[in-house]
Amino acid sequence: MITDFKEIQDSALELDEKHRAELAKKLINSLEKSMDEDIEQAWIDEIKRRKAEIKSGKVASVSGQEVHKAARELLKK
């Protein structure tokens, strides 16, 4: 079994395009599983922070309709 990173890398780069793409997909998917958990927790934390800001009166909520109107105005400039 190949355990040296450089050997693995060199072997992977010798693969044909189809197999390199398949390997790349599998490697990315293996990373996304742990990243998904981190991203999910980050969103939960962000939601809690925003909710607290609204409840405290620090910020006011804005309707989606108002946001879209403002965005359209910005795009016209």
Please name the amino acid found at residue 29. Answer: N
How far apart are alpha carbons 47 and 68 in whole angstroms? 21
Q: What is the pLDDT of residues 23-71, one digit of tens each?
A: 999 999 888 777 777 888 999 999 999 999 999 999 999 999 999 999 9
Note the pLDDT of residue 25.
94
pLDDT tier, 2 (very low <50, low <70, confident <90, very high otherwise) = low
Return the pLDDT at 54. 94
Place of tokens 């922070």: 49
Map tokens 């946001």 to a residue: 67
More confident residue, 40 or 22: 22
User: What is the CA 45 to chain-centroid distance, rounded?
Assistant: 15
pLDDT at 6 over 80: yes
